[in-house]
A and B are shown apart, each in its own frame.
Chain A
Amino acid sequence: MTTPPPLRELQLRLRELIFRNGDGTAAALERLERGAADLPIRGDERLSPAQRLSIYAGMHFLRIRDVLAEDFPATRAAAGDEFDRLVERYLDAHPTDDPSLRRAGRHLPRFLERSPANPPFAWQADLAALEWAMIEAFDALDEDVLTAAALETVAPGDWPDLAIRPVRSLRLLELRFPVDEIRADLIAGAPPSEAMPVELSLRVWRQGTSVFHRRIGEAELRALRCVGEGIAFGELCAALAAEQPADDAARQAIGLLRDWLSDELLAALPTA
């Protein structure tokens, strides 16, 4: 018998065998048998060393696949029977490195951009981006939100310098396909189909403990980006006025503010 490897080498070799051979096929078991031949693993009449390794290999794949299926339910529905293959390719490109499985899917939208699933629907990267934004919004920091009552305490002269910022759960998406509708259809059980491209902006945010998404126009997208940079209310009005008369811009700013307060989209003002 060969000398057992040091612990570091043993772990590196086991990692490779478990990571690469989780699909349960005869070919995977054959690779495990070759790889385990000189490893110090005890076998018996019930299970060989390779069969014992294959238990770990199978569980590793299934655990991560199930987490991704839960975090990306519509992406999973669209992929159907090809979802396992998609997960294999994704994990090959992005081995899990975070202690939390909750973060396992964070590269999936970009991965789908470069490496489409089969069948290769053009909207799948946008869909994954929406589903990941919903996860991020769900997990974002809790904070107090700005209320109309709090704004009533702001003196008129202080409004131009009033610094407002969005809640940390807000995510802004610029998409090429109507994936909000596609996602709803897939979750409802509709089969996936091609969709016409359409330029679309969505805001995704958490209100209480629920996550919402809503289509927004170009003006609101621009305004939310400005607010995200921490500009003052006066600067927001000036930005909106750049493309329309000042009175219209003021009305638009007030309208947006009303919507944002209603949707609890703004963080509470810092206390003095």
Chain B
Amino acid sequence: MKLLYSILRHNIQYTQILGFLVANIVGATIILFGIQALSDYQSYKKQNGIGLPNNYIVITKPVSNLTSVGSLWGAQHGFDEQELEDIQNIGAVQSIGCFESAQCNVYGIITIGDLSLQTDFFLESVPTQYIDVPLTPTSDNEEPWSASFEDKKVPVIVPRNYLNLYNYGYASTHGLPLLSEALMTSFPFELELSGKDRRPHYYQAQVIGFSNRLNTILVPQDFLQDVNNHLSDHTRTLPSRLIIELANNESKEELLTFLEQKHYMIEGDSTSLKMQAVVYSLLFVAIGIGIIISALSFYLLLISIMLLLERNKEKIKNLYEIGYAPRKIASPYQRLVLLLDLMVWGISSGLAYWIYQICISIVSKVLADWTPIPIAYLFVSTAILFTILYLLHRWIIIRKINRML
């Protein structure tokens, strides 16, 4: 083998080899770091359901020009039974609640002394289990979140951000008094409902709590259904919004993909979804650049080896004719690429590990709940890529030698 190597090592261009090494190390480091970061990001996403604001999400269908026109002709824009079933079948979905809205005219009336303010209003309801306001029974053991069409009192839950919007966005600039939550709950206001009987029905509405989760004015579901039965001309309408309770331990991947495919919109903060797209794009671009650099350097090495084989063509033919099998003739070249590939992937995995450790120390400060995936992934990726490329190099060398003979 020593003699064989001493014959075949002639004509090796060390500068070309060095060029290959540097270029391939850069490319391989980027690829390995990219793969590790991508795996880590996906693992984090699965663990924490990135892209979903919390354990409950509210989704709607987007309103397009077509649905706008359709709604004028009475077409319903909501989730049908099949769509509800599809969503329910996703692993991460624990349960689904449908929003129902009042199908009649609603006015809110606030009377302060002799002054009476009246405004258009809307009411919605969701099943009680989705409400994030404590609904403790009153002292006389009365159900706090229940009412009927015949009752004259109805409990109401308003979004906390409505109150904040009034206090910080409106009242302060218009010289109006700020309202506390306690004040809001102690002053009832009046609701006027009218529908198919063309008679107004008045109710005393009492704010009993403020919701962070539900961005609408809520009344009890039994009350709303009763009102719709009495005052609405419409048959049952499709729910236009859904509240989804997420299962804790399930991957949110499938749900996110499903929502993306169906173009359903998640209400509230979608920054994390956008961030996700940005992170993916960056990682894929990085891996893409790494692949291009590696492919070019892989090609550079191949060209170098092919040139080397061409320059040694006569020697290779002589060796063959004295009894050296092509496999044996190829072995010094295969050892050379083995050495080079080992150097490339060894150094690259070390560099990628080092860069990754720096990134971990930075990211850990921002994401306290982040557990990096084991670094073993990096070395497994290295081993797989090294094996594939080395086998490819081996195969190309033996093929070239066979063609020369």
Decide if A and B are genuine partners: no
